[in-house]
Amino acid sequence: MVKENISEKIYTPIRATIFMFLGLVILLATGCTPLHKEVIPTIQAEPIYDQLYPYYVEVCAVSQIRAKFTEYGGSGGHAVMYLKGACRDTQAEYPTIEVCDAGTVDLSDPETGVGISVNKLFGNVNWIAVPGKRLFYRGNLEEDQLLDEAHARATIKVVQDLKIFKGVKTREYYEESVPEDESEDEFIYRVASDTLGTDFAINFGRTIFCSRLPVTRGMMGKIVENLNEQNRKYVSGETEYKWSGYSDNCSHVLHNSLAAAGVWSFKSVRTYKLKQFFNLSIPANETINLAHLSTKYPIEDFYKIYRDDVKRKTLLEENWLPTQPGALFQTIGVHQKNDLYDTGVSIMVVQWPLLKQKSRKIKAIFEDPRYTTDLKANLSSFEERYEEILEERPDDWDNVAGKNAYKKARKVYYEYIEQQLQDVNEKLSLLGQMR
């Protein structure tokens, strides 16, 4: 026991020194690359998409907000998420969601979903849920309409009437600076006014970059459960919510909700300072990482999948891998007919400055119709990948004699690929009929 204590005393400062050195190297080597554009085009999948994929997530990085009537937002932008197939629980006393009941709602309607946004203004919850894409992304604003103060006020009134901020307390509540005579309706209207363009009606003043990924109903349930637990623990007082751009920001919450469903690994939050550096979560980086994972990961390499603990576990438990047909990169440009916000786009991407690997990855995806607008080409490309995998599988792929975990997982993998190929063929047939 004494030896173990002495060993730990020696090891701890050595470990700290190693972390400090690595942190210094990375700080010197990495950099923030600003993306500055005047106009980013809107690129959206055809409406038929939702008839083929009832459940999907969109992880979105949104650009810096530049209001003409107040100071600019942070250059890192913001992160939000749209959960297609999740619905608000309107009876709950604070923001809560559930997997939509297919018997009572139309899952082929893209409006059957909720937008999730985290805000540092909140004091007793982590996020709010906004129903439907039109309100969440566009604030019910048509492309040829002028965004003026009247429409902004009307949008805020919609949010107030829907009681989207029901049960929410802002940080000022805990700082005892809320007006004593302020009614609940007045409070909600004021908070909605402060969060316009950030938590809803996002493209009023921001461009939106989204990675869309189809998921199973079971996975949607795990995402919903994880998010609800975040709000529950803060509302109950079990944990105090303190937003941190470094250690617990909007991207951390969204990233870890997907991790709960097996999409990727968890990121630590609020660990000790130096270690937290290796768990940074940057909105643009998260969106790029998901776009690359969902389209470019080498699903042909079973050995690589097997060695990855998260992917192996998700394959065996959910019969799912994060590189999926139907995964698309989508954009919604900031509203151009605009009296309230500047319409230039600024967002930061953290990457190795000389290699610019993140920029190159997203450029390759952004410029390929298979991963943006052409669903038929997307499905056909996965059809080819699956066919090639099955053509090259070994003769003994279904031999699971003994207790060989590798061979058992390999059999599951090839059965999964067979199912995926069948699903893609069915969707291609349906797509042809719908068109």
Grade residue 356 by pLDDT with cuts at 50, 70 and 90. low
State the pLDDT at residue 248.
77
Highest-confidence segment of 272-276, 396-400, 421-425: 421-425
Assigned token pair, 213: 């990924």
Task: Give the number of C-alpha atoms closer than 13 A to the C-alpha of residue 313, restricted to the C-beta side.
Answer: 10
Asked whether residue 29 carries a pLDDT value surpassing 50, the answer given is: no
**How far apart are the C-alpha atoms of 44 and 398, rounded to whole Å?**
41
Asked whether residue 37 carries a pLDDT value surpassing 80, the answer given is: no
Asked whether residue 176 carries a pLDDT value surpassing 60, the answer given is: yes
**How far apart are the C-alpha atoms of 26 and 18, rounded to whole Å?**
12
**pLDDT, tens digit, 9 for 90 and up, residues 116-147:** 999 999 999 999 999 999 999 999 999 899 99
Highest-confidence segment of 63-77, 258-272, 421-435: 421-435
pTM, 2 dp:
0.89
List the domain boundaries for the chain. Answer: 32-304+323-373, 374-435
Assigned token pair, 405: 């975990």
Assigned token pair, 168: 């929410």
Q: Largest alpha-carbon pair distance within the chain? A: 76
Whole-number percent of the chain with pLDDT over 90: 66
Instruction: Please enumerate in sequence order all residues whose Cβ is within 8 A of that of 306, keeping only pairs 6 or more positions apart, or say none.
Output: 312, 406, 409, 410, 413
Beta pairing class for 86-88 and 328-332: unpaired
**pLDDT, tens digit, 9 for 90 and up, residues 374-409:** 999 999 999 999 999 999 999 999 988 777 899 999
